[in-house]
Amino acid sequence: MLTDCLKSSRRNVSSDMPDDDTLALVNGVADDGGVLVGFTDGSWHGIVEDETGDARVGDVVRVEPRSYGSDEYQAVTVVKEGGWDYGNPVAVVEQIFDDTMMVRTEEREMTIDRPDVDVDEGYTVELTRANTLRRVLDTEPVEIGSSTEVNVNMPSEDEDRKLGLFQAERVEEVSFDDVIGLQSAKERLKEAVALPMEKPEKIREFDLDDRFGILFYGPPGTGKTMLAKAAANEWGLSDLFFHIGGPEIVSKYYGESERQIRDVFDAAEQQAEEAEKPAVVFIDELDSIVPRRDRADETERRIVAQFLSELDGLEDRGDIIVIGATNLIEVIDPAVRRPGRFDEEIEFTVPDPGERVEILRVHSADMPVAEDVDFERIAQQTEGWSGADIKSIVKKAAFIAVKEDRSAVGQEDLMIALERHESQRRKKQEHFQDEEAQG
């Protein structure tokens, strides 16, 4: 079962596991007592130790480091049995066998384990995200298809907005000066957005479009999200910044994803009009919304079509700046990158040696650092690392120093943290390679 869970994973995960405790969904149980979990914010998945004593597939658990500076993690508490109360797929039972049963969701037919509860063919059931039966909804089949919306336990539009999905996010105080390197990206952003705001008459005089999409692409942890927030601050739009994670938009319910895309742009348009200045819609993990349609299912193709419609209608929506970010530009539908939609594409690369030194200094600036620390040496040994990777080893080194009761972070702490993080990176790369080979 654990292998099947690994094969079925379609999410792109970050290159580093967070140090803070996080909520996660149990997707599988290993023979050695560990559990396969996926963080509910989508940032990581992997195997952790089960200290709850009773975590089951579909449960939500709290995950935290085993100790300060440790690269081993554990599930410590079952927060909720059976997952969340909404957002789970709905299915109709087609056939029942001795140990399994065939169910049909909106997207496909699949076989799941037969539960202990009383269930019969034709029943409408709710599944967990781990594709096990959560509960029986009705003894009659619900129509699941392109003509019907399934609204079982879905939050209302008002509840959605209370959750913050369509509310502008107040951006923390980060500026271009806080973003190390990426000078070319900064200049191109100023050219694409700041000039139309500063010189609207000239833009009209030269018959130029004053709004179009901007696409950030490059490896994880290279500063795409941070630069988008810094840009919003530089443009004076920090209170009109809509930060949307691509997976937040995607729903298994027919028509729900398209509605949410429309609502995001409606909310941005309304608030831009009220504030009489542009709103910024930043969509992270854009590839999860607009994959190539020649490799997509019907649901994904509908979502792509709706998103293209919104981009094409920006002229009628007023002042909206759209910034998309992706780690996988090659899987984005080519129509999204057509001129007139995302006209400006900005590549993000891993930092060079000088930038790596600067990143180390910035992230250690507010902590005591010993005189023997040689940032240049650390920078030489982190070639190809992202800014997020480098930030992580500084944090890990600080945990080690605290654990050893040192008065400051020393070179030894940084070297231990570097070795641990490098080991983690290798294991994850091998894990993903194995997944690709199996799937």
Q: Is residue 144 part of a domain?
A: no
Residues 332 and 227 occupy one common structural domain: yes
Residues 6 or more apart in contact with residue 249 via CB below 8 angstroms: 257, 260, 261, 264, 283, 288, 289, 303
The Cα-based distances of 185 to 33, 225, 235 in angstroms read 47, 13, 15
Which 8-state DSSP code applies to residue 176? G
Instruction: Indicate whether 165 pLDDT > 70.
Output: no
Q: Is residue 422 part of a domain?
A: yes
Residues 203 and 324 occupy one common structural domain: yes
Give pLDDT tens digits for 143-152.
Answer: 554 323 333 3
Instruction: Indicate whether 434 pLDDT > 70.
Output: no
Residues 278 and 402 occupy one common structural domain: no
Contact 104, 91 (CB under 8 A): yes
> Which of 33, 59, 80 represents a domain boundary (last residue)?
80
Contact 196, 325 (CB under 8 A): no
> Which of 80, 100, 129 represents a domain boundary (last residue)?
80
Looking at every residue in the chain, the average pLDDT score rounds to 78
Residues 229 and 341 occupy one common structural domain: yes
Predicted pLDDT of residue 433: 59
Residues 164 and 217 occupy one common structural domain: yes
Predicted pLDDT of residue 374: 95
Predicted pLDDT of residue 324: 93
Instruction: Indicate whether 154 pLDDT > 90.
Output: no
Q: Is residue 149 part of a domain?
A: no
For helices 387-403 and 411-438, the axis angle rounded to 10 degrees is: 130
Residues 198 and 118 occupy one common structural domain: no
The Cα-based distances of 429 to 22, 126, 205, 224 in angstroms read 22, 34, 52, 22
Confidence of residue 126 (pLDDT cuts 50, 70, 90): confident
Residues 275 and 227 occupy one common structural domain: yes
CATH (domain of 314): 3.40.50.300
Residues 364 and 333 occupy one common structural domain: no
Mean pLDDT lowest among 243-247, 369-373, 385-389: 243-247
Q: Is residue 244 part of a domain?
A: yes
Instruction: Indicate whether 110 pLDDT > 70.
Output: yes
Confidence of residue 210 (pLDDT cuts 50, 70, 90): low
Q: Is residue 112 part of a domain?
A: yes
Confidence of residue 17 (pLDDT cuts 50, 70, 90): very low
Residues 68 and 94 occupy one common structural domain: no
In the chain, how many domains are there?
Answer: 4
Give the residue among 249, 346, 320 at the shortest CA–CA distance from 290. Answer: 249
Instruction: Indicate whether 217 pLDDT > 90.
Output: yes
> Which of 299, 321, 347 represents a domain boundary (last residue)?
347
Which 8-state DSSP code applies to residue 369? B
pTM, two decimals, is 0.59
Give pLDDT tens digits for 406-419.
Answer: 999 999 999 999 99
Q: Is residue 152 part of a domain?
A: no
What is the residue range of 273's domain?
157-347
Per DSSP, the chain holds a count of helices (H) and strands (E) of: 14, 15
Q: Is residue 75 part of a domain?
A: yes
Residues 177 and 281 occupy one common structural domain: yes
Residues 282 and 365 occupy one common structural domain: no
Q: Is residue 238 part of a domain?
A: yes
Residues 254 and 342 occupy one common structural domain: yes
Mean pLDDT of 348-372: 92
